Chains A and B, each alone.
Chain A
């Protein structure tokens, strides 16, 4: 029994954090929003070079040869940065699902960009920038398909209806792919939550009313303490689920669902507390807070919302509902 990351895993995450601090600042995220794709091609290629996009691809196929436990901390860092683009779909879902298939080429380094439409949503995230889409039963190319932007709330995650896709049948483990999508999204949400709390605490240290920083008032302290508690208790659930996937535990689906339910709830709580602490500034387009909040609001329901996942845990713990 050992519930901790290795030094190497933490060093990889720190390296990514350093990269993101330079190349995925709020200004970069805004640029990806304004440019209209919700994607940052320069960041994407840096993530490819660093091995982040191919963590789950074996080394002999050009990947990093890592596990879901290696990936989970990276996704948390990417969440802190509200990194735009199909990172979750590509790295956690499609790249491992298509290992050994005709569609594997270019996924390990990200030279082919993949997204996924496996969570029951009628909308395909990031379809505009993706070359291929993993769908139930196979792989579709976006080339030649008709994409309609339906204006997602997070402009770093454009969503589309897609018509006229031709699906090439490919066998893959769709349950595993779904669990990986849900867990990766949960990890991303943990990072988003941490950053929103950090930004709100920073604001509460500086903003003064009645002659002192608002962070000195207990009502403000308690809002943020409660938000922090939710994310601190979501983290172990997320890490455990990553481990359960990596060793294919019999409780994998249950563990993933517990993680996603906790992370979705924690992220929503963090967004509400952070916005409340910001006051009117938090309700502006100008404040960077929206970059994290809107991604949290999109991802809290992506790959199943908290209620969906809580009920999947209930099926495992209480028996199937009647």
Chain B
């Protein structure tokens, strides 16, 4: 059976290259169907055709031409949605080999590369303060990039950029389709504002960020007024400047386009809500890790939350003579898993998002944790299906299992909220993906886990093991420390020690010309997940530390 399916799938892909996928029909029978919009069907059939849900019912007729899956023991959910991500965007640029070789300067080169990446623009505003930028312009075509996320059951994601105060008007994409037009569900969905700064110029501090935003909102309102005056009667009036940045803000200050504020902690949420109130913005809070403290305000201002599932946890061990962690931090970590339950109880609309977590697996794992802390399982499923669709204004076409809606479906074997679960089928826009079962244990032994890039031959990999003194060019404060790498074939383990503490390396890999790993540090009381990509040349490496806070250069020199 299984083999047959795989063959079909291959055949389908083979036949369909270049032609429409429409026409293929699938039926999942005898499955539990969690429709989310209506009652759960304990045993029923979902039929998919032409990218849409053709029928769903306990006794839905299976078409003669449908490829049928026996869903006994399987549960069909609406496709999971990551309500805030960077999916589809290129990974952070890593310095090309040759740049920043021996003699240093690698960090500066990486920074310059990052700066050069800022697109040329005729905007009157500096990079980072350009609301006209649309994320869809940066989304890459091709669906292979989404494999890991799709395998975890995700069919849809909201995507925005990583940098700036205006991080880019977001695009809602389905995680399949070979070109961006096919992937796009809706664009633009919302304006995105992060309380970030533009180092080295105005606004260079949080103070300036707020005053700069306020001035731009004022100017956008006035610009709207002037454009209307000019359209009515241009004579005797200096023509309003063609300012695409201000034009992009007009739907925002008119309350037509929602604004998604990244706001996790109490102060950030208050500031976002205050600003939204002052300018009558249609606000959405993203992150919302302390949003449970503001359920009344969120309800009265009608502000939904894109709740981060990147729960904070202590990841670094401080030395015995370090000060104890602040109570705020300890309480914050203990409280975060309870937030979803509290929002639900108070009737605040919310959707789950990955929150920049290093691994998508944390998403479902922490959604489960939320259900152990006061959230009902139904509400948890809703927060990753229909609720985000409602918040993003697409619930008429996706987010639940209903006839005629987009065939975004996730089929799970076992209990989604239990320990034993496997995503067996994912339909994105009616296209079937069957996640491969995970390879026998994330291998510790030799040959357990393949290197990245399609089986790099371990013998061709460089030897990167050793101790490096490292320098991380964090804005405003350079961090120094040591990186201890232990290599076993293509795998890398070890620790990174900086002023922020000791971090155990995760997912360490040796690549053809360098290495990569993930980790987490505690900064300002919050766990920050990061990944490092580095290129090695002789006894030095240059690379980038990628975190939700941005990309910063890292360099290292091997200590003999």
Do A and B share a complex?
Answer: no
